[in-house]
A and B are shown apart, each in its own frame.
Chain A
Amino acid sequence: MSGLLPPRVRRSVRLALRRPGLSEGDVDTELALHLELRAEQLVAMGWSRDDAEAEARRRFGPSWDDAVQHLHKSGRAREDRIAMRERLDSIWQDARYALRVLGRAPRFTIAAVLTLALGMGTTTVIYSLVDHVVLRPLPYRDPAQLVLVREVVGGLSATYPTMPANASHFLDWQRACTACEGLAAVKRSRQTLVGRGDPERLGAARVTSNLFSLLGVRPQLGRDFREEESQAGRDGVVILSDDFWRREFNADPNVLGRVLRLNDQPVEVIGVMPPSFTLPTGDALGALVGLSPQLDMYRPLAFTEHERTAQGEFDYAVIGRLKPGATPEQARSQVDAAEQRLVQLNRGYGTLGASLVSMREQVVGGAGRPLLLLLGAVGAVLLIVCVNLANLSLARNASRQHESAIRVALGAGRARIARLALIESLVIALGGGVLGLLFARWGMRMVVTLAPDSLPRLSEVHLDGRVFAASALLTMIVGIMVGALPAWRAAQSEPGESLKAGGRTAAGVRGVARRRAWFIGAQVGFTTVLLVGAGLFLSSFVRVLRVERGFDTDHVLAAEVALPYASYTTPEMVLQFYDRALAEVRTLPGVTGAAITSALPLEGESWVNGIGTPENPEKRAEANFRFVTPTYFAVAGTPLRSGSSFTEADRGRRLVVVSEKVARAMWPGQGAIGRQLTIGGEKVAEVVGVAADVRTTNMEGEEGTLIYLPSWENPQWQASVVVRGPGDPAQLQSSVRSALRRADATVPVPRIRTMSQVLARTLAARRFQLLLFGLFALMALVTASIGIYGVISQSLAGRTKEFGLRMALGARPSDVQGLVMREGLTPVALGLLAGVVGSLLAGQAVQGLLFGVAPNDLSTLLGVCAVLGTVGVIACAIPARRVGTLDLGRMLRPE
């Protein structure tokens, strides 16, 4: 500090602290005395005067001037240290004083700390989500250099702008992309583990041997894949996830070298990944990638002959690392050039192209906005809480104005008084912050459980040092926000004014009134924006629920089955299992029907192929194929709009049921029944039924373009058994599981869910957003209404005499009440207006998150105005009513 402040200022600071200071002159005085006394001592011992004086200086070292300079410096250092200590001491004193004062007002303190803790706890939770999901870099080496490469496939690009890569294309790119340090591929995989209790189906990924080194991650135990392990026949190795290793092997380090039976092959465990390692699951690496939500293990990706040659299969998420200095555009054009060479070599391809986005953009992209919106919402709640507390503190300080004035009169500095007020609010904020962290710990667990699995990087979310630091910073900011105004006001206290009896001046009252109006207006404004947001999300949610589903959610259960390829080698065997399983399930009590489908509604698009009509070759479309047993429609509750399903008797005939959308597209305005449909350009099938539209990925997109073929056309190893019963389908779960075990105990049944659970999964993201936003809006509404009530009550408390006078001069109680209502409701109305304008401006931000409702939806705006208006009227009316019931005599009596 000595360097920052000129000596005069330092001196004045010192004077204010009333401590005898030590300037350089003081050091000189002290040293002069020393020299004198030393010389006297030496003279007494017989030295000559001159020698004695020289010796006295010599004893300070070889150079007297250096010694003096040095001592001046340490004198200053001492001053600074003392000043610092005294400041800390007095702050500590003030903090203890603040604690005592707060202890004397426990109700205020508890309310303040609790509301702040709630506000800050929720803010911490949401910030932590935003931080982990959006702000932090991906947990890989140099994540900025990582990109995802995808293909643009002509003919499919209307439905899927980009697709995962084809295996042979990927192998081509590895050679072509010289701007990349390397390219790695990931493909979803299911591994069935046998020999350790019940057969278990595990989430896995097949990855090229260079993936981990490309990402810059090493196994915590054992070794990485070797290059030769990407060759078929040498790929009998597996690297486990940390989670699976702990769950299945109790973190046994001797797991290395163990041989597991995976998909009926012996596979050796060679490594365990570190706990921090995850791959973005689901479709986070791009549409149609579909990694399982939980990755238990990684197998080397040894391309099979089929995979290497299949031209129509696009399954691989391709991750690339750009060389330092290389631009994404260079890499993209190199891959694109490779694509064009492929197109020239194979005429049948149609067009191909390359698309390249940064990995971060792909993984985090869509999740950012909803989370930032939530952060904004929770921030607004915290702001309302702070505004309220600032007002409460002001009111408290107003009643203590007298005390402050006396202190000022007795000589306490204004700065000291202001600091006292600020420290008081910092103490409250600190309490709120600490308690808030406890709330946050608990809230975090809840939020992670509630969060939809579509939220990327959820597994990375937890409270840590970074979040902790952010929350400490927040505490400081909140403390200052709450305390600044009261501190400023306290410093303004004029001893003369305030010590006069009554102590109210007209100007003071007017200023107070204006401040109250601002408080009310600001709270109402923020609350309006939050309520409008919540209202829009609510009506979106309701509209999504109202979408025609095309299947029954109340009485249907779906059990996934995964037939082992090793024991089910032919389609006939699969069909035999279907028959056995259906026969077993149908005998169960409480079951009225059972059927098989290759894919459930809302569980994604699979098996895409082209369809057309023989009479009009121009009419082509991409459709989603489902392979179902004949009773599927009745069991799933998908109504047939016309025609009927195929029956067992139809085996051998090419029959098809189409969805309404297909019928509309192919034969608009004409009957579809009996029409011919071409599939994949060659096969022709006859339409026997038109089924209600069903959505394939979520309730918000378009209806799927669905083609239902009899399951015997193409029996699927992975399928779902759909079961219908008149009661609650959840009750059937265990009996269905044991029926399937009776059909074949070696067939894993990874999941049994009711269709309402399937539906809930697709609504999870929207429900999450609505739940949190609604919660924040409710918090805002409650806080704001209490705030308005508090502000109005306060404004009345000091004005009984004024009202008494007005009534003595002829005003009726209702006039006075009207006055109070007007004073309260004017800022409410203005705040509402500002809030509505604010929501209209903020509408852009939510546009993409709404469904079936516009951001400026009139009924939502009106509804919010009605709710807030009512709350405002009630919050003003309660205190106003009290004024009307006061006794005139008592009002005018001197205090």
Chain B
Amino acid sequence: MPDALAVVKGTLDVLVLRALGWGPMHGFQVAAWLESRSGGALALDDSGLYQSLYRLEGRGLIAAEWGLTENNRKARYYRLTPSGRAQLKRETASWLRYAQAVTQILTAPAEA
């Protein structure tokens, strides 16, 4: 992964929430989902991913329970709680606003 972008601090949480918005996943599934979605453009630290999962669970935005993978291996599945879903909506909206504003400034034609 040459020149992968470091994930801006704080955005990892919202990305994890987004991933879990599709349905319950275990940790590796979340990592794989994010990697495939970003097309490898984001440098994801797996340690940071689990930190994020534990942090979100501590705040009650996601909940976890033990389950089995398709190959019958014991895995911890995470899912969004209602407050996590609300948080995802809020964070997405504010991130889009932020990105739009930054983009607008950076791409404005130079003044003559």
A contacts, CB < 8 Å to B = 20, 22, 26, 29-31, 33-34, 36-38, 41, 59-61, 67, 70-71, 74-75, 77-82, 85
Q: Which 3 A-B pairs have the closest CB atoms?
A: A81-B58, A78-B58, A67-B47
Least CB distance, B82 to chain A, in whole angstroms: 14
**B5 is an interface residue with CB less than 8 A from chain A:** no
User: Would you list 28 pairs from A and B whose C-beta atoms are within 8 A, ordered by A residue?
Assistant: A22-B76, A29-B76, A30-B75, A30-B76, A33-B26, A33-B28, A33-B74, A34-B27, A34-B31, A34-B46, A34-B50, A37-B28, A38-B46, A60-B46, A60-B47, A61-B45, A70-B51, A71-B50, A71-B54, A74-B51, A77-B58, A78-B55, A79-B58, A80-B58, A81-B59, A82-B57, A82-B58, A82-B60
Determine the chain B residues whose CB is within 8 A of the CB of A77 once the complex forms: 54, 58
Determine the chain A residues whose CB is within 8 A of the CB of B73 once the complex forms: 33, 36
CA distance A501 to B6 in the complex (A): 71
**B111 is an interface residue with CB less than 8 A from chain A:** no
CB distance A20 to B65 under 8 Å? Answer: yes
**B102 is an interface residue with CB less than 8 A from chain A:** no
Determine the chain B residues whose CB is within 8 A of the CB of A38 once the complex forms: 28, 31, 46
Least CB distance, B25 to chain A, in whole angstroms: 12
CA distance A71 to B50 in the complex (A): 7
CA distance A26 to B31 in the complex (A): 19
CB distance B60 to A85 under 8 Å? Answer: yes
**B32 is an interface residue with CB less than 8 A from chain A:** yes
CA distance A70 to B46 in the complex (A): 12
**B66 is an interface residue with CB less than 8 A from chain A:** yes
Q: Whose C-beta in chain A lies nearest to the C-beta of B66?
A: A20
- Which of B26, B46, B57, B74 is within 8 Å of A59, CB to CB? B46
Least CB distance, B60 to chain A, in whole angstroms: 6
Determine the chain B residues whose CB is within 8 A of the CB of A59 once the complex forms: 45-46
Least CB distance, A79 to chain B, in whole angstroms: 8
CA distance A67 to B46 in the complex (A): 9
Least CB distance, B55 to chain A, in whole angstroms: 7
Answer whether A74 and B55 are a contact pair too, CB < 8 Å, given A31-B50, A33-B26, A41-B32: yes
Interface centre among A31, A37, A71 (most CB of B within 10 A): A37
CB distance A71 to B51 under 8 Å? Answer: yes
CA distance A838 to B50 in the complex (A): 67
Determine the chain B residues whose CB is within 8 A of the CB of A85 once the complex forms: 60
CB distance A74 to B45 under 8 Å? Answer: no
Determine the chain A residues whose CB is within 8 A of the CB of B51 once the complex forms: 70-71, 74
Interface centre among B31, B57, B58, B64 (most CB of A within 10 A): B58
- Which of A22, A26, A33, A71 is within 8 Å of B47, CB to CB? A71
Least CB distance, A51 to chain B, in whole angstroms: 16
Q: Whose C-beta in chain A lies nearest to the C-beta of B30?
A: A34
Least CB distance, B30 to chain A, in whole angstroms: 10
Least CB distance, A38 to chain B, in whole angstroms: 6
Least CB distance, A680 to chain B, in whole angstroms: 88
Determine the chain B residues whose CB is within 8 A of the CB of A80 once the complex forms: 58
Determine the chain A residues whose CB is within 8 A of the CB of B26 once the complex forms: 30, 33
Least CB distance, B77 to chain A, in whole angstroms: 11
Determine the chain A residues whose CB is within 8 A of the CB of B75 once the complex forms: 30, 33
CB distance B47 to A70 under 8 Å? Answer: yes
Determine the chain B residues whose CB is within 8 A of the CB of A41 once the complex forms: 32
Determine the chain B residues whose CB is within 8 A of the CB of A81 once the complex forms: 58-59
CA distance A60 to B50 in the complex (A): 10
Determine the chain A residues whose CB is within 8 A of the CB of B45 once the complex forms: 59-61
CA distance A67 to B54 in the complex (A): 14
CB distance A74 to B46 under 8 Å? Answer: no
Known interface pairs A33-B27, A70-B47, A77-B58; 18 further A-B residue pairs with C-beta atoms within 8 A, sorted by A's residue number: A20-B65, A20-B66, A22-B64, A29-B74, A30-B76, A33-B26, A33-B74, A33-B75, A34-B46, A34-B50, A38-B28, A38-B46, A59-B46, A67-B47, A70-B51, A71-B50, A75-B54, A82-B57
CA distance A27 to B103 in the complex (A): 40
Determine the chain A residues whose CB is within 8 A of the CB of B50 once the complex forms: 30-31, 34, 71, 74
CA distance A75 to B51 in the complex (A): 8
Determine the chain A residues whose CB is within 8 A of the CB of B28 once the complex forms: 33-34, 37-38
CB distance A26 to B32 under 8 Å? Answer: no
Determine the chain A residues whose CB is within 8 A of the CB of B76 once the complex forms: 22, 26, 29-30
Q: Whose C-beta in chain B lies nearest to the C-beta of A67?
A: B47
CA distance A297 to B58 in the complex (A): 62
Determine the chain B residues whose CB is within 8 A of the CB of A29 once the complex forms: 74, 76
Mask of B1-37 contacts with A, CB within 8 angstroms, 1/0: 0000000000000000000000000111001100000
CA distance A60 to B75 in the complex (A): 18
CA distance A70 to B45 in the complex (A): 13
Least CB distance, A420 to chain B, in whole angstroms: 24
Determine the chain B residues whose CB is within 8 A of the CB of A26 once the complex forms: 76
Least CB distance, A18 to chain B, in whole angstroms: 13
Determine the chain A residues whose CB is within 8 A of the CB of B54 once the complex forms: 71, 74-75, 77-78
CA distance A24 to B112 in the complex (A): 62
Determine the chain A residues whose CB is within 8 A of the CB of B46 once the complex forms: 34, 38, 59-60
Q: Whose C-beta in chain B lies nearest to the C-beta of A36?
A: B73
CA distance A60 to B45 in the complex (A): 6
Determine the chain A residues whose CB is within 8 A of the CB of B55 once the complex forms: 74, 78
Least CB distance, A875 to chain B, in whole angstroms: 53
Q: Whose C-beta in chain A lies nearest to the C-beta of B32?
A: A41
CA distance A85 to B61 in the complex (A): 12
